[in-house]
Amino acid sequence: MKSVVVYCGSGEGYDSTYRDIAYALGRLLAERSIRVVYGGAKVGLMGAVAEGALDAGGEVVGVIPHFLETKEIAHEGITQMIRVNTMHERKLKMHELSEAAITLPGGFGTMEEMFEMLTWAQLGLHQKPVGLLNINGYYDGLKVLVNNMVQEGFLGESYGNMLLSSESAEDLLDQMAQYQAPETPKYITKQTT
């Protein structure tokens, strides 16, 4: 992998561990010569990831809609800032610039970005690995929910396995490097191809 999009909150959460691990992830990606693509803010976990990568000499590309430049406080010191008009353009551009996605703790926006990547993968629109860095068990409930989706017949097991997870950034990157996408995208049949 040469480029990873990182989805995470513009807030830091109540526990400083979130920020510390976000910073460490940025450093690790830079040390592995992996470009960081993210939402472009200098605040919250987004800012921590960017600072970690920059402090380790890494390349950081931000993608931010014009209307969020003041709300999320655009980072002035990153390698490249790409400004777009809408949230849809933001997500598409981050997808185009990356080979994988890592999700850190965040709120609705973070979840929406991650789930869109998973949905696109399920439909066979890409074969990129999507992973959770499960800091402090933040995503334990989500893992239970995904398992319940599989158990109740709303999500095929192969799609449930698409969402990689680890408490360790190193382990998550190793899982992502070995990731094999499901062979058959959802709803793709001989009649539709």
pLDDT in tens, 18-66: 999 999 999 999 999 999 999 999 999 999 999 999 999 999 999 999 9
Q: Which residues of 1-22 are buried (b: 16+ CB within 10 A; e: fewer)?
A: bebbbbbbbbebbeeeebbebb
Query: Is 182 among the domain residues?
Result: no
Query: Is 82 among the domain residues?
Result: yes
The percent of residues in the chain predicted with pLDDT above 90, rounded, is 85
Q: Report the C-alpha gap between 24 and 191 in whole angstroms.
A: 47
Query: Is 183 among the domain residues?
Result: no
Residue 182: which pLDDT band, with cuts at 50, 70 and 90? confident
Q: Report the C-alpha gap between 34 and 44 in whole angstroms.
A: 21
Per the CB < 8 A criterion, the answer to whether 135 and 17 are in contact is: yes
Q: What is the mean pLDDT of the chain?
A: 93
Structure tokens belonging to residue 2: 């040469």
Residue 72: which pLDDT band, with cuts at 50, 70 and 90? low
Q: What is the structure's pLDDT at 183?
A: 80
Q: Total domain count for the chain?
A: 1
CATH code: domain of residue 112:
3.40.50.450
Query: Is 145 among the domain residues?
Result: yes
Judge residue 23's burial from the number of C-beta atoms within 10 Å of its C-beta, 0-12 exposed, 13-18 middle, 19 or more buried.
buried
Is the predicted pLDDT of residue 192 greater than 90, yes or no?
Answer: no
Quick one: average pLDDT of 124-129?
94
Query: Is 70 among the domain residues?
Result: yes
Query: Is 136 among the domain residues?
Result: yes
Query: Is 192 among the domain residues?
Result: no
Domain that holds residue 173: 3-177
